Amino acid sequence: MKLAEFTDKHNAFREEVREFAKKELLSESTQIDRKGEFPWHIINKIKERGWLGVPFPEKYGGLGLDTTSYIILVEEIARVCASTAIMIAAHVSLACQPLYAHGTEEQKEKYLIPLACGEKVGSFGLTEANAGSDAGATETTVKLIGDKWIINGNKRFITNGTIADIIVFTASQDRTKKTHGISAFIVEKGTKGYEAGKEEDKMGLRGSITSELHFEDCELPKENLLGEEYEGFKVFMETLDGGRISIGVLALGIAQGALDYGIKYAQEHDLNGKPLYKFQWVQKIVADAATEIMAARHLIYHAAMLKDKGEKRITEEGAIAKLYASEIATRVCYKLHSILGEDGLTRKYPMERFLRDTKLMEIGEGTSEIQRIVIARQILGK
Ligand code: CAA
What's the pLDDT band for 152 if we cut at 50, 70, 90? very high
Nearest CA to ligand 1 atom 1: 238
- For the stretch 49-96, pLDDT in tens is 999 999 999 999 999 999 999 999 999 999 999 999 999 999 999 999
What's the pLDDT band for 243 if we cut at 50, 70, 90? very high
Q: Do 209 and 247 share a domain, yes or no?
A: no
Which domain covers residue 75, as residue numbers?
Answer: 8-116
- For the stretch 103-146, pLDDT in tens is 999 999 999 999 999 999 999 999 999 999 999 999 999 999 99
With a cut of 70, say whether residue 212 has pLDDT above it. yes
CATH of the domain at 50: 1.10.540.10
Percent pLDDT > 90 in the chain is 98
Percent pLDDT > 70 in the chain is 99
**3 in any annotated domain:** no
How far away, in angstroms, is 71 Cα from ligand 1 center?
22
What's the pLDDT band for 12 if we cut at 50, 70, 90? very high
With a cut of 70, say whether residue 225 has pLDDT above it. yes
Domain boundary among 116, 150, 178: 116
Pocket lining: 374 vs ligand 1, CB cutoff 6 Å:
yes
DSSP annotation of 58:
G
CA atoms of 335 and 109, how far apart (whole Å): 48
Predicted TM-score (pTM) of this structure: 0.97
Pocket lining: 315 vs ligand 1, CB cutoff 6 Å:
yes
**38 in any annotated domain:** yes
CATH of the domain at 134: 2.40.110.10
Is 365 part of the annotated catalytic residue set?
A: yes
What's the pLDDT band for 2 if we cut at 50, 70, 90? low
* DSSP assignment string, 288-324: HHHHHHHHHHHHHHHHHHHHHTT-S--HHHHHHHHHH
Pocket lining: 369 vs ligand 1, CB cutoff 6 Å:
no
With a cut of 80, say whether residue 292 has pLDDT above it. yes
Compute the Cα dihedral for 212, 244, 34, 29 and give only its sign. Answer: negative
Other Cβ atoms less than 10 A from the Cβ of 264: the count is 12
Q: How many domains does the chain have?
A: 3
Pocket lining: 327 vs ligand 1, CB cutoff 6 Å:
no
Question: What's the whole-number average pLDDT of the chain?
Answer: 97
**324 in any annotated domain:** yes
What's the pLDDT band for 5 if we cut at 50, 70, 90? confident
CA atoms of 265 and 13, how far apart (whole Å): 28
CB 147 within 8 A of CB 221: yes
CB 61 within 8 A of CB 112: yes
Domain boundary among 116, 138, 165: 116
Q: Do 83 and 22 share a domain, yes or no?
A: yes
Q: Which of 76, 238, 317, 365 is labelled catalytic?
A: 365
